Amino acid sequence: MTTAYLYSPVFLEHKQAGHPEAPERLIAILDTLTETGLRARLTALEPIPATDAQLQAAHTSEHIARVKSLIARGGGHFDPDTYANARSLDAAVLAAGAGVRAVDAVMAGQVDNAFALVRPPGHHAMRSRAMGFCIFNNIAVAAQHALDAHKLERVLIVDYDVHHGNGTQDIFYRSSRVLYFSTHQYPHYPGTGDWRDIGEGESAGFTVNVPLPPRIGDAGFQRIFDDLLFPLAERYRPQLVLVSAGYDAHWSDPLAMENLSIAGYGALARTLVALAREFCDGRIVYTLEGGYNLPALAHGVAATFRALLGDPDTPDPLGASPRDDYDADDIGDYVDQLKGAHRLV
């Protein structure tokens, strides 16, 4: 397997003292990839800034103008959680463009799969506003580029950040060309992602929300991927899989409590790689979202790269959660409920 990673030091220049979405996140990831020998096995691809046309395919021109105006004045806040400094436009446009570059490389067969190690993250950015640490919606820009430039008809976005990707849902809620699948702690920021939110009109059924209580754990997540996501993909037959990869569902993350382990993340990544191999010749692109415990984030990303490279095992230096998982029988009943809601039974 030829696996690419996309990174630029420009991503480190978007920063605000004391904010959890900080440059140290990418530094920890790169250090771990180097120390484990994984970085030497990867193909480095240089990200290219997204064009205005690529941004406008996912965002309103008014939103793009507001972003540029705020940053031209030296930065500030889009909301209490979402900041920008004088270098944030360069970082945000490059983060959006990294997904586009990764899609192009995978679609051309230049590499088998890819992971864009970017910041700021993107999945909370809505068509018309920045929020939740996110300025532009990186995964949505990449997905729309795949639809427009590569003439695809069916793109699957899997979002397993612990927070619901309300921006991605907003952008594709009325589209049947994107199947959006999200697992997220609920109720939790941003408060969206009810299981009854499934799309509108002819696009009903192409948004699949899996809101979760705390402590689902490895077995619960795997059950959801095996028994709900895989059958949905089998029916949809995606031509490309995109992943909004958040590592804040790890048991040690300070912002949530979903109880995943590093080994659990590795198993989910292998499931997604198998899904892509089954339905779209292995074409899968990851984009980094959240994750705020640095060791968990770094080793979670490393576990994902091992899956993309085809390694069968996932070393887990942090071990299993010290907290009990949610009852497995209950999650099985819940999955059955969601399968019924989406006409899989």
Catalytic center residues: 124
Which element (helix H / strand E) includes 185?
A: strand 178-185
CB within 8 Å of 143: residues ≥ 6 apart = 155, 157, 172, 178, 242
- How many angstroms separate the CA atoms of 100 and 140, rounded? 10
3-state secondary structure (DSSP) of residue 43: strand
Which element (helix H / strand E) includes 65?
A: helix 61-72
- Asked if 303 contacts 263 with a C-beta cutoff of 8 angstroms, the reply is yes
Distance of CA 325 to the CA centre of its chain: 23
323 to 3, 178, 223, 257, 258: CA distances (angstroms) = 34, 36, 19, 10, 10
Residue 232, token pair as written in the block: 């949905």
Cα four-point dihedral sign 154, 155, 158, 161: negative
Partnered with residue 181 across adjacent β-strands are 158, 208
- Asked if 143 contacts 52 with a C-beta cutoff of 8 angstroms, the reply is no
Please work out, in degrees rounded to the nearest 5, the angle formed at the alpha carbon of residue 114 by the alpha carbons of 109 and 119. Answer: 140
- Asked if 39 contacts 33 with a C-beta cutoff of 8 angstroms, the reply is yes
> Which of 221, 200, 77 is CA-nearest to residue 135?
77
Amino acid at 32: T
